[in-house]
Amino acid sequence: MSLQAVVIGASAGGVQALSQVLPALPVDFPIPVIVVVHIPPRRDNALVDLFADKCRIPVKEAEDKEPLEPGTIYFAPSDYHLLVEAGGSLALSSDEPVNHSRPAIDVLFESAADAFGSELAGIVLTGANSDGAAGLRAICAAGGKGIVQDPASAEVATMPHAALAAAPGSQAMRLEDIHPALEAMIAL
């Protein structure tokens, strides 16, 4: 299995967790990384500016109908669901919140599972609800790979526990082990 994309979901404590995962990606990282972090509505998304200074690959806010580019990190904008369409373009939606969240991790993960099937890795990081669990189950059911932050290392372990329960084939790992695991999956 060779990966075509990575999707990441995080909530409470997510900025700190992402600060260990995203800057570790090398300048030649060959696939897109699509990220949903629970952000309160009507708040400016400071994540792009924060991570653009820390990462070695381009970081941007996702735009509707934007084609995915290799080696780019896309953040969901505040108050919009982010989806991946067949053919590898992004879509934004103002549909109702899912799991009390918009953007919702499950919405991204389920659409990406449909678009990429077995060529997708989904990563659930720290968070205080179960968003991402159903989406990670969908990724694994499509033949993709599931990675979950080790609950013992998560600032809030609720999301990692829910994801591991919903997608038992997923691997729990420490944040510093995620980048090497992705590199190994890409090399397959």
Report the chain's mean pLDDT, rounded to a whole number: 95
State the DSSP string of 4-29: SEEEEEE-TTHHHHHHHHGGGS-TT-
Catalytic residue among 2, 11, 64, 111: 11
Task: Give the pLDDT of residue 187.
Answer: 82
Neighbours of 174 (CB within 10 A): 11
Q: Where are the domains of the chain?
A: 5-187
Dihedrals phi, psi of 6, to nearest 5 degrees: -125, 135
Say whether pLDDT at 188 is over 70.
no
Give residue 148's region: left, alpha or beta (phi > 0; psi -120 to 50): beta
Map residue 64 onto helix, strand or coil. coil
**Alpha helices (H) along 121-157:** 133-141
Please check whether residue 185 is in contact with residue 5, taking contact to mean a CB–CB distance below 8 angstroms: no
Task: List, for residues 122-132, the tens digit of each pLDDT value.
Answer: 999 999 999 99
Q: Mark whether 131 is an active-site residue.
A: yes
Task: Give the pLDDT of residue 185.
Answer: 93
Catalytic residue among 2, 38, 95, 170: 38
Task: Give the pLDDT of residue 27.
Answer: 96
5-187 maps to which CATH number?
Answer: 3.40.50.180
Helix 133-141 to helix 105-116 angle, to the nearest 10 degrees? 10
Task: List, for residues 21-60, the tens digit of each pLDDT value.
Answer: 999 999 999 999 999 999 877 666 789 999 999 999 999 9
Say whether pLDDT at 158 is over 90.
yes
Q: Mark whether 11 is an active-site residue.
A: yes
Catalytic residue among 111, 131, 150, 170: 131
Task: Give the pLDDT of residue 148.
Answer: 99
Angle subtended at Cα 133 by Cα 47 and Cα 97, rounded to the nearest 5 degrees: 60
Distance CA 172, CA 177 (A): 10
Q: Mark whether 28 is an active-site residue.
A: no
Task: List, for residues 160-187, the tens digit of each pLDDT value.
Answer: 999 999 999 999 999 999 999 999 999 8
Gap between the terminal Cα atoms of the chain: 6
Task: Give the pLDDT of residue 40.
Answer: 76
